[in-house]
Amino acid sequence: MTALTITTPDDWHLHLRDGQALSDTVAHTARQFARAIVMPNLKPPVTTVELAAAYRQRILDAVPNGLTFEPLMSMYLTDNTTPAVVEAAAASGFVHGFKLYPAGATTNSDAGVTDIRNIRDSLKAMSDCGLVFQVHGEVTDADVDIFDREAVFIERILQPIRDSLPQLKIVLEHITTAQAVDFVRSAGTKTAATITPQHIRFNRNELFRGGLRPHAWCLPILKAESHREAVAAAAISGDPSFFLGTDSAPHKRTDKESDCGCAGMFSAATAIELYAQSFEAAGALDRLEDFASHFGPDFYGLPRNTSQLTLERREQTVPDSYPLSGGEVVPMLAGQSLPFVASRG
């Protein structure tokens, strides 16, 4: 095979940041993806329809000439999110979900939900309105091992929500464990999950390969090989409950390589090539289009894209860094080779 043409994919979990960073980050995604669910964990967070509309316009203003890209907005759940806010979001036409950040779980999550009981009414409103509950699925209890936080969250918090609100659409984001795979598979058609390129490819050894590697530090943290195998198998399975979400998170090199480095891996610039490499290695390249281009819009109730993207079999070397807000960001697989080059038609 010298080239593979697929329906233009979408990214169902993406961080673009704001301000000067948009001129760097939006271009990377728009070169590969037609649409993306944009995460709302800015400072201050995107908690109202008005803030979401303004952020959406800033993203559109940053799309390079000659490219088309549609940001699909998400809003940030707090203890104070009301059903009226949910209803306004649903009426906007451009907000597609609300993101749960358990307070303290990850980057810019300090304003997140402190107790799931505080958003029960809002979850019911989301179920009634058809908006998607987008979940960072980790507990933050100090006595829970960091490698167990996802599994404990599913058992203690997510399963009871699933049982009590059977019509609520739930996406468990960036899954990392066999428990998450099992939960999604057993939870019915109103439940789905996004899968990142790093959680398909890496186990937790990557954090320590040749020394401490801050650019492999992400949340949820990389897990044991048995969990990586389960997540990779779910991605290539052809099960429509699992679809592409990069969780690409741009952080400056200086912020990652510090005494308290921030979590996140940047993959947006070569995302579809990263997935294609993993799918081919598993003998499942023929299933990439469904995972990347079909299952996400089907779950969100949006039309599939009509444009196409071509993956040409041509080696490229991932740059050591890309510009970011006057500094630089180190990408996933920096300096390494990929066997494909993608171009939108």
Task: Look at the alpha carbons of 293, 16, 339, 311 in this order and tell me if their dihedral is positive or negative.
Answer: positive
- CB neighbourhood size of 93 (10 A): 8
Rounded Cα–Cα distance for residues 199 and 178 (Å): 12
Tell me: is residue 17 an annotated ligand-binding position.
Answer: yes
| Residue 15 annotated as part of some ligand binding site | yes
275 token code pair: 């997935």
Contacting residues for 188 by C-beta, under 8 A, at least 6 apart: 166
Residue 194: strand, helix, or coil: strand
Q: Is 219 flagged in the annotation as binding?
A: yes
Residues annotated as catalytic (active site), given as ranges: 247
Task: Give the DSSP H or E segment for 53.
Answer: helix 49-61
Q: Are 222 and 199 in contact (CB under 8 A)?
A: yes
**DSSP bridge partners of 316:** 338
117 is in an annotated binding site: no
Is residue 342 annotated as involved in ligand binding? Answer: no
User: Residue 247 annotated as binding?
Assistant: yes
**174 is known to lie in a ligand binding site:** yes
251 assigned ligand-binding residue: yes
Amino acid letter, residue 50: E
Q: Known binder of ligand: residue 263?
A: yes
- Indicate the SS3 state at residue 297: helix
CB contact at 8 A, 285 and 277: no
Q: Residues 59, 336: contact at Cβ < 8 Å?
A: no
Length of the chain, in residues: 345
Q: Are 24 and 333 in contact (CB under 8 A)?
A: no
Tokens for 282, please give them. Answer: 């598993």
Binding residues for substrate: 15-17, 41, 136, 219, 251, 263
The annotation places the binding site for Zn(2+) at 13, 15, 99, 136, 174, 247
Residues in binding site = 13, 15-17, 41, 99, 136, 174, 219, 247, 251, 263
